Amino acid sequence: MAVMTMVQAITSALDAKLADDENVLCFGEDVGVEGGVFRATEGLQKKYGVKRVFDTPLAESSIVGAAIGMAIAGLRPVAEIQFDGFVHPATNQIVSHLARYRYRTRGKRPMPVVVRFPNGGGVRALELHSDSNEAIYAHFPGLKVVMPSTPYDAKGLLISAIEDNDPVIFMEPKRVYRAIKQEVPEGIYRIPIGKARVLAEGSDLTVVAYGAMVRVVQQAMIEAKKEGISVELIDLRTIYPMDTATIVESVKKTGRILVVHEAPESFGVAAEIIARVNEQAFYYLEAPPARLTGTDTIPPLPKSEDLYFFPPERVLYEIKKTLES
């Protein structure tokens, strides 16, 4: 075991798969010489050469389009987009071709492509550097959408994503990149896509979170425990396909649910989770399902960032409010 940040765990996953499978390639803007804007690919070009780890022009649509062509030719490309807000020019390739190719070829052509990029805010970045796009891509059939919350999960999920024969949108919460360290195996291991994890068992309330929000909820739970509140925390890990069964079973036990994410509220992941709970666990509910989300605004510039992202105290407030309703 080695102690790693999330960035180091991602580098380790890419390193392991580049060594394991000669068909794996990594590329994107500044991915080669510089090692990526967050240094997630640092040292990989020197180790595996310019034909397997390389820089691209500043053209996100072309990056994903090239990845699709590589996958058709039998390769397993891992394309990096520098920031969440930069992925929009590539959305045409992602939605019109990447997501549809297996369907379009009646299952004859798998599409083993990973599109990975930093997601969310909290690092006082500029406009188009703090977006939360998970609900957008989870909406399109043909895509899997993954967001880890820890270094250990990041490596295991990324290895599973690279080995998957369907396209995976791999979103990395940039606020967590270097915020925590964790023991991570140096070899290959896998965490299944589509399976949530119960991080803490509880009896009063179910809280579902993912990505950077998991740590915020965990901090709130420390104070909740002091007040005698028992919270069951589920880390979603995969946005789509969603592990509905784990959520429903938890709600059947606690009778209450609060969903926490930093993406805007309207048409978000919380809305989807609450709809599924209403469909499958309605008669077990002892209070209306609740959500704590970002606001329906563009993430603000650094000076106002603290007004947009909620602290653990706000999560604790919403936990109490849900229990009292």
Residue linked to tokens 């007040």: 227
Can you tell me the distance from the alpha carbon of 235 to that of 77, in angstroms, rounded to the nearest whole number? 27
Q: What are phi and psi of 177, to 5 degrees?
A: -45, -50
Can you tell me the distance from the alpha carbon of 37 to that of 82, in angstroms, rounded to the nearest whole number? 7
Among residues 88, 97, 129, 261, the one annotated as catalytic is 129
The string of DSSP letters for 36-81 reads -TTSTTTTHHHHH-TTTEEE--S-HHHHHHHHHHHHHTT-EEEEE-
88 among known catalytic residues: no
Residue linked to tokens 């880390």: 235
Give just the sign of the alpha carbon dihedral 210, 212, 215, 216.
negative
Q: Please give the C-alpha separations between residue 45 and each of 2, 41, 101, 106, in angstroms, as whole numbers.
A: 22, 8, 29, 36
Angle at 43 between CA 41 and CA 45, to 5 degrees: 80
- Which tokens in the block code for residue 86? 């930069």
- Which tokens in the block code for residue 262? 């930093």
Nearest to 319 by CA among 201, 234, 206: 206
Query: If 0-12 CB within 10 Å is exposed, 13-18 middle and 19+ buried, where does residue 170 land?
Result: buried
Q: Which residue numbers are catalytic?
A: 129
